[in-house]
Amino acid sequence: MQSSATVLVYSDDANTRAQVRLAAGRRPAADVPPVGFVECATLPALLARLDEGGVDACVLDGEAAPAGGMGVCRQIKDEVFHCPPVLLLVGRPQDAWLATWSRADAAVTLPVEPVELAASLAALLRARLPVGA
């Protein structure tokens, strides 16, 4: 198993970023590696960090301003080579179709529900990281 995974969390709201970190915990599931978080509050910071590489999954706030996570997701899916999987935080369950439009790999609703977020993030990491690496 890989020694650790890097999860990028994008939101203009520090409280939302903290909710994601707390919900996922140090290890979202027993069969995935421990995670370290990189936080970005702006689109330029997010794009710069993705250009550096080494990100295993992204959690994007669909309610972020001025660049919402849905549009950001669609942009990075088009522009980032080997884009990491994206977990999109949506404001209400009815917005799940927008997550599909944005090409998110998974979506959960705000406010963050810890079990749901950890399970969704773990599934993305399982799909991204080699088994037994």
Residue type, 66: P
pLDDT of residue 2: 62
pLDDT (tens digit per residue) in 56-79: 999 999 999 999 999 999 999 999
Spell out the SS3 assignment of 113-128.
Answer: CHHHHHHHHHHHHHHH
Q: Which CATH class is domain 5-128?
A: alpha beta
> Which H/E stretch holds residue 96?
helix 96-101
Domain boundaries along the sequence of the chain: 5-128
pTM greater than 0.75 (yes/no): yes
State pLDDT tens for residues 86-132: 999 999 888 888 899 999 999 999 999 999 999 999 999 999 886 55
- Cα radius of gyration rounded to whole Å, the chain: 13
